[in-house]
Amino acid sequence: MQPPRASKIPHSTVVHGETVIDNWHYLRDRENPATIPYLEAENEFTSQIMAPAAELETTIYEEMVSRIQETDSSVPVREGAFEYYTRTVKGKQYPIHCRRAASVLTNAYAAEEQIILDCNALAEGHGYFSLAYDVPSPDGTLLAFAIDTDGSEVYTLRFRNLQTGLTLPVEIPNVYYSGAWADNATFFYTTLDETKRPYRLWRHQLGAGSPDVLVYEETDARFNLSVERSRSGQFLLLTMDSHASSDVHYLSTATPDGIFQPLRPRIQDVEYYAEHQGGFFWVRTDENAINFRLLRAPDTNPANWTEVLPHRDDVSIEGLEGFREHLAVVERANGLKQLRIFTTRAELSSHLVAFDEPAFTFFVEGNEEYETSTVRFVYTSLVTPRSVYDYDMDTRSRVLRKRYEVLGGYDPADYTSERIFATAPDGVRVPVSLVHRKTTTNRPAPLYLYGYGSYGILTEPAFSSERISLLDRGFIFAIAHIRGSGDLGRQWYDDGKLLHKRNTFTDFIACAEHLIAKNYTTPGQLSIAGGSAGGLLMGAVMNLRPDLFHTVVAHVPFVDVVNTMLDATLPLTIAEYEEWGNPNEREYYDYIRSYAPYENVLSAGYGNLLVTAGLNDPRVSYWEPAKWVAKLRDMKTDDNTIVLRTTMGAGHGGPSGRYSRLKEKAFEYAFILTR
């Protein structure tokens, strides 16, 4: 079987006096008669290569499905007079959103379930479906929801009358991920500009018959808008943020036709984020505090800020959740999350919630009620399945509401997790989280090493039931907590961005070398994986050490960095200058050019490579992985396998639907195992 060969058609560009030749530039044009046939030919080649693994792929998929409770429901979330929850039905791809009326006195469910949104019905006739949000009005009579049916992340806003079950005729296109009710008839939403940046905030008055009102427009192309209703219900919070700066405007929900006011001034390279609680605005800010500090001011006088929690060199503040008499603060110390609870009745006091495992994480979610002393969080680790707890912030006791069952006899006691440290070339210690079966003692063993390392995004040591299909075949699974992530605080992020970006790649290589040196694995047994900016990581480390990795998986990889960052008409580009640098400036151009995967493909032997793409991807355009694979095929000197799989009707996240996603993961694992 011969792989496809994309034609070489030189395209020249002069950048900083340098003439740059791109032989596959034409693949950017999906209307070019060669583009779609090339992607289809790659898909066909992938199918042929993977045909001998079809039985294994099916086996792995069936294993993954057999571990999940296909018909299941989430823990209900109280909001107003109702308890909201989602449930899944065996054989159906998408969740069904439901509610039941709850008695205020007994907190008991009424007998009748109301289906408020069946995503399976909404997805009918579409190859892709995504729900950005579904937000009930404060009195529970209306539902605002936004859907995308092609993976472009451009959503359409609809409204449903929950008393009649009828969807209203109004459709608002081109909306994004955030929306909020001010009152029971006024809804605020954001729309996108031509680069798919959320830049405008609109006010929609249901039943008014008048055009929607433009409330705010962000003219700085680096900034995105998002809007939310405070849990107290008293304010709308409009957040404008870039990769380096942010600010918040507020509006009383009692005056939805009013003007949003700035909470604090916007300052370049200063971030702050707000919550409202107990008559105060609370702000976490990195002003003179790289790991953030906590401030508050009376909501009647937001200029009067006082410090509540000072900056700490060893602890970063990551989030705030306000309740009537409490504030839940998510922190991070030594690379692990911790939850601090403030009691705000009289004098402020706080305590930490205790967690036990060596590598774990939690997510504060499912907290819609303000008048409560209970905070809900989801706890998980590399061996502990997703577990929903309600924590009483006064008594400091917790109740396990649900541990999502892993069918088939999974026992956490059969597995073990650990946290080790590799040493980077500059002497920095880089954490690595590991999990494997306790019986995997015959070392070295096959190992799957995951990395991301950009935007300060966290690589949490969370549970995955799909991963068991590797662990039970003798694999070790590892996460490299490299610089560029936020895993060890803000400095860890700053040390892996802009002109320090190469630290991300050398950290990852150091983790791989450490795992080999400590006899966990060998280069011939080492698979690595990452997606999006983690796909850039895959391409960069392949070029730096083509000998080190046996198999590489690069999902929707951001590999054409120079060309993308030079094109300000593309989604995200201008906003990304604060992450990667602006290549229109010579210093940043030279630095990005030094590591960008596409420009640095070698005439050398590489490992096996699985690359994925989405034709409708607005974040990493399909042509980036397509051009990269074409160049690798042209230049590499080995006979190892390269396959490119493009989903023709989806975007950045790949196929939608829970079964489709399990099939994608089974395909990836089958590729690794058969190499």
Both tokens of residue 467?
A: 């991963």
Helix (H) or strand (E) holding 554: strand 551-555
d(CA 486, CA 316): 10
The three-state secondary structure class of 578 is: helix
Amino acid of residue 44:
E
**Contact, 516 vs 523, CB < 8 A?**
yes
Amino acid of residue 663:
K
CA 256 and chain centroid, separation: 31
Which candidate, 335, 513, 527, places its Cα nearest to that of 445? 527
532 is catalytic: yes
Q: Which residues pair with 87 in a beta bridge?
A: 73, 96
Helix (H) or strand (E) holding 38: helix 35-50
Q: Which residues pair with 364 in a beta bridge?
A: 377
Which candidate, 179, 178, 130, 174, places its Cα nearest to that of 150? 130
**Contact, 167 vs 158, CB < 8 A?**
yes
Residue written as token pair 């992530």: 485
Amino acid of residue 324:
R
d(CA 215, CA 201): 5
d(CA 619, CA 632): 22
For CA atoms 259, 196, 118, 555, the dihedral sign is negative
d(CA 11, CA 22): 5
Among 74, 507, 617, 656, the active-site one is: 617
For CA atoms 441, 443, 448, 452, the dihedral sign is positive
Alpha helices in 479-583 (DSSP H): 490-494, 502-517, 533-544, 561-565, 573-580
Give the number of other CB atoms < 10 A from CB of residue 513: 15
| Helices (runs of H) and strands (runs of E) counted in the chain | 12, 38
d(CA 487, CA 334): 9
Among 25, 241, 652, 656, the active-site one is: 652
d(CA 671, CA 668): 5
Radius of gyration for the alpha carbons in the chain, expressed in angstroms and rounded: 25
Among 232, 433, 469, 532, the active-site one is: 532
DSSP string, 461-472: ----STTHHHHT
With 0-12 / 13-18 / 19 or more C-beta atoms within 10 angstroms meaning exposed / middle / buried, residue 87 is: middle
d(CA 165, CA 249): 35
395 contacts: CB under 8 Å, gap ≥ 6: none
Active site residues: 532, 617, 652
